[in-house]
Amino acid sequence: MTITDTDDLPDDVLEDQAAAEGLGPRPTRRHRDIPHDADAETGVLGVMLYSTTAAETIIDTGLNPEHFWAPKHQAIYNAICLAIVAGEKPDAVTVPPRGDGSFTGHDLLPLIVDAPVPSNGPAYARRVIHCARLRTVYADATEAAQAAKAGDLPRAIAAVEHLVVDQPVSSAIHHQPLGAFIDSDEPDHDWVIPGLLERTDRILLTGPEGGGKSTLLRQIGVQAAAGIHPFTHNDVPALRVLLLDLENSERQVRRALRPLRVTAGHVADDNLTVAVHPQGLDLTDPTDVGTLTHLIATIQPDLVVGGPIYKLVGGDPTEEQPAKAAAMVLDRLRVAHGFALALETHQPHDSGGKRPERPYGASLWKRWPEFGLHIAETGQLRHWRGARDEREWPAALTRGGEWPWTMELDSRKLSFAQIVQLTRQHGRRLSERELSMEMGVPKTSIHNALVANKRQYDDLCARLEEEF
């Protein structure tokens, strides 16, 4: 029985049960005041018994036996670590029952059967460590309060000083010397969608109201879940996708997804999870943070699409502090679970000139994503911020065809037509970098278009020099 199973039992029953199990004094109902997470503790142990690789990543978090709240869990964790040190794979056989009766083989089997996703192990371990530190703070604060109540000032001050000075410093920031960092055995790209999205990438997509940005993100989500590249339509590995719609009703989302599902077939049925929550989430509120964290941990997506982003922040969407808090929650989740994130957001209204293509709200959102894209009603895709890496985003999409949005078939011709237009607007030859920034097209595509049309572009630039 886990600790949380005892919530409804009276204290005398708890004490009798503890005596029968030979465990010594058992926590009474007062244990509910003490920070702990029994599910995280059993999750850690289950993952370690399921996967040796995952067990090693858990140990690397700095988790120690004393971090566990339940004595039985402390003993099991210590025995697992001893098995690993001995070069054995921890399981119900290699982790033998302790002679002191702190646990038996029957305690290990449920942990193995109910083991969660191994990749979640480090997150559970950090949760166990977090609760252990909270208990230390709780104990010191209680000691200080009791001493102060008794009029013992020196003891109260000593407890407060211990609370402030002796808290462990986090070692969660991974660091390596340059040589080891560069030479690590890691692929150049950890693709989610080859050539387009890596794990932990962040995309913000802006566009006019009703201009098709929600449709494009839904389409990308369905295609990714069905193993279809969203622009080339080549076969790619199917992804676990979470569609998180914070604006539309279930009825509206169902109507929008139905034709996409018909085109994709049933491959995406089990890979795409739809979460409709039109009331939005406030990621400055711990309850809503917990709700989103649980959803992500349950689904373990490779890609999360949805939005709009202003429905993730409570209060005034133009204020920087709540936006920063929400961004930190999203960053923590995407790094912990390794998913790419593509969210839509609105653009500011026209203020007398050309309507800005950047996101509406706090200026943080202009700097936050790896890729800031704007889709015009005509289908042109432009970057409103410099991309942090070169990817194969098309210059424009067209409406209709097999999918609601389709990549322009002759992208090289389209790119050169745009190059000519922009060059005429500027009245001079533009560098490949300038063209890439303004058009939202990779420099390789710009270079190829210029090489294929070198004579025409040179003639255009010569004429412009004569005119100006």
Helix or strand or coil: residue 253? helix
DSSP 66: G
* CB burial string 347-376: b at 16+ within 10 A, e below: beeeeeeeebbbbbbbebbeebbbbbbbbe
Q: pLDDT tens digits, residue range 153-170?
A: 888 887 776 665 544 444
Q: Is the pLDDT of residue 368 over 90?
A: yes
Which secondary-structure segment (H or E) carries 176? none
Q: In the structure, what pLDDT confidence band is assigned to residue 171 with cuts at 50, 70 and 90? A: very low
Residue 335's nearest CA partner among 239, 149, 201 is 201
Give the SS3 label for residue 160: helix
Q: What pLDDT shows up at residue 341?
A: 97
- Residue 186: predicted pLDDT: 59
Give the amino acid at 453.
Answer: N
Tell me, what's the pLDDT at 170? 44
413 vs 271: which has the higher pLDDT: 271
The residue ranking higher by pLDDT, 367 or 31, is 367
The one-letter amino acid code at 143 reads: E
pLDDT of residue 305: 97
**Residue 442 pLDDT exceeds 60:** yes
Task: Kindly give, in sequence order, each residue whose CB lies less than 8 Å from that of residue 396, ignoring residues fewer than 6 positions away.
Answer: 378, 379, 380, 381, 408, 414
- pLDDT category at 409 given cuts 50, 70, 90 is low
What is the pLDDT, as a whole number, of residue 262? 93
> What does the pLDDT read at residue 264?
92
Tell me what pLDDT residue 408 has: 66
pLDDT at 28: 43
At residue 425, does pLDDT exceed 90? no
Express each pLDDT in 116-143 by its tens digit.
Answer: 878 888 888 888 988 888 888 888 888 8
| Residue 243 CB burial class (10 angstroms; 0-12, 13-18, ≥19) | buried
DSSP single-letter state for residue 367:
H
Q: At residue 91, does pLDDT exceed 80?
A: no
| 411 or 393, higher pLDDT | 393
Query: Quick one: DSSP state of residue 173?
Result: S
Both tokens assigned to 299: 């689904």
* Cβ-contact 295, 275 below 8 angstroms: yes
pLDDT band at residue 239 under the 50/70/90 scheme? very high
Tens of pLDDT, residues 184-235:
665 567 889 988 899 999 999 999 888 899 999 999 999 999 999 998 888 8
Mean pLDDT of the region 50-55: 82
| Full-model pTM | 0.56
Q: Pick left, alpha or beta for residue 352 (phi over 0 → left; psi -120 to 50 → alpha; otherwise beta).
A: left
Residue 441 is predicted with a pLDDT of 65
